[in-house]
Structure 1
C-alpha cells in the first residue's frame, strides 16, 4: 500500500471507524480523543512535542504504522483503551503520576532516573556496532536522544520503565521494564499494554562483570514490590547468547520463538522468548 493510502487509512481509522465502534465503558468517543491517545503512544509522549500538525501528513511513516496497529488492536478488543487513555493523560499532566523513587541501589550499582548528561554516553553505546550487533542497526545520535526521552517518560505513564544504569558514578547503560505497546506475535504480546518486558543494554566495557544480571534483579524486585507486576517476558535475537544467558541466570524459562515484525528478513528476525513470574523466581532463589 502506498504512503498516501496509509495516511488516508489513518484518517479513516480515527475519524470514522473508532468513533463508530465506541462502546459503553470506553473512556473516549470522539475522533480527536482517539487521535490523541494513539499519536501520544506512537511518539512516546504528547505528540505535539514531537511532530507538527497535521499529524496525518507529517508523522514519520513508521510511527504512523505504530499508531495504526495500536488502533486496530483497540478495535479488535486486544488493547485496553482505558489504560492507554490514562497513560496519555499522565504525560499531559491531567492525572496524577505514580510516585517513583529516584534510584534503586545494589552497592556501587545504581538504577536511576535519566539525566541530560546521560545523552552522550547513551548515544556512544547505541553507536557501537558490537553493542548493537543483535539490533537491525546502530542508532544515530538523534535517535538515542529520542529513545532516552521515551524511556524516562515511561515512568510518568506507568510508574516504571528502563532506568539509567550507573556503576561507580559512571553511566554504563540501561535496565528495567516497560509495557509492550505494539502487537507482537506471541501469547500476551498480541494484547498491547498487558505484557511487561524486562530489558537491558550495556556499554561494551561493562560486559562480563555481572552488571546486567544484578540490574535486572533490582528492577524485578521493584516491579514486584512497589508496582505489583507479577510476570515479565524478555526476548532477543536467537543468536544473542549473552542476553540469553542473563535471562537464564534470572530463572526465566524459554517460551518459544517468534519472528519480530519490526526486524527485516534475515538472521536477526527470529527471536527467542523467555518468561518469568513471581512463583518461578521464588522457586529459583
Structure 2
C-alpha cells in the first residue's frame, strides 16, 4: 500500500517512518503530555507503539497517523482512526490524538481530528465515530465537543489497562454519527 498522506491547511497526517521514533518519544516521555494518558513511555515502548501503528496501517489501511506541521515538517504528535480495543468502542472506529505540549492551544488537534473523522466517514462503512479519554482530560473532551461529539452516558467505563488505583482509571466515551457529521459539514 502506498504511503498514506492526508493534508489539511496546516498539517500533514501520514504513515509512520522508523525515523519518527525519536521525535515521537520526546512527546510520549513528556510528563506534561502524559499527565492525562498514563506514565511516560520508555524509548522501547514508543518504538513498539510506532511499530503497532505501522502494522495497523499495513493491515487495515488506517491508524493514529504521524502528525506533521506543514510549515516546518516537524512531527508534533499523532491523530487518526483505529479500531477500538476497550470498553464500548471495541471494534468501532475510534478517533485519537496526542500532541507535543508546546503545540497545545493552537487548534492543531481540532484540525487533525476533523480531517480524521472526515476520512473515516468517507472511507469506512460505520455509522458513527467514537473517542475515549480519562474522565479528567478536559482538553481532549473539549476537542470531542468541538467535533460535535456527544458524551454517551452509558459509555463511562474503567479502562482495563489502567491501574485500578490510578486517577486515570475512569474513562468517558463520546461519539458522532455519520448523519450528525454530515449535517454539520453540509
TM over 0.5: yes
1:261 corresponds to 2:160 = yes
Q: Deviations over 1:208-255 (max 9, x none)?
A: 000001101111111111333431110111111000000000000100
Structure 2, unpaired ranges of 5+: none
Separation of aligned partners in 1, 2:2 and 2:126:
15
Contact 1:114–1:152 under 8 Å retained in 2: yes
Q: Structure 1: how far apart are the matches of 2:3 and 2:119? A: 10
Name the one with the larger strand percent: 2
After superposition, what is the alpha-carbon deviation per residue over 1:6-32, rounded to whole angstroms, capped at 9, x for unaligned?
Answer: xxxxxxxxxxxxxxxxxxxxxxxxxxx
Aligned to 2:115: 218
Is this contact kept in 1: 2:93–2:120, CA < 8 A?
Answer: no
Corresponding residue SS for 2:33: coil
Question: Structure 2 CA distance, aligned partners of 1:159 and 1:238?
Answer: 30
Q: Does the CA-based 8 Å contact 1:238-1:268 persist in structure 2?
A: yes
* Structure 1 residue 178 corresponds to structure 2 residue 78: no
Contact 1:100/1:160, CA 8 A, preserved across alignment: no
Q: Which residue does 2:95 correspond to in 1?
A: 198
Secondary structure at 1:130 match in 2: helix
Shift of 1:107: 2.2
Which ranges of structure 1 fall in alignment gaps of 5 or more residues? 1-98
Higher relative contact order (CA 8 A, sep 6+): 2
Q: In the aligned structure 2, how far is the partner of 1:231 from the partner of 1:264?
A: 29
Structure-2 separation of matches of 1:255 and 1:100: 36
- Structure 2 vs 1, CA of residues 130 and 180 (structure 1 numbering), >3 Å: closer, same or farther? same
- Count, aligned residues: 180
TM-score of the two chains, using structure 1 as the length reference: 0.60
User: 2:136: which partner in 1?
Assistant: 239
Q: CA RMSD in A?
A: 1.5
**Bigger radius of gyration:** 1
Q: Does 1:162 align with 2:60?
A: no
- Alignment partner of 1:248 is 2:145: yes
Determine the C-alpha separation between the residues in 2 that align with 1:202 and 1:142. Answer: 19
Relative to the length of structure 2, the TM-score reads 0.90
**Shift in Å at residue 278 of structure 1?**
1.0
Distance 2:102 2:64 in 1: 20
Residue 272, structure 1, aligned to residue 177, structure 2? no
Structure 1 residue 134: Cα displacement: 1.1
- 1:108 CA drift (Å): 2.9
The structure whose residues are more often helix, as a share, is 1
Q: Deviations over 1:108-147 (max 9, x none)?
A: 3110111122110101100000100012311100000010
Q: How does 1:104-183 map to 2 (within 5 A)?
A: 104-167=6-69, 168=71, 169-181=73-85, 183=86
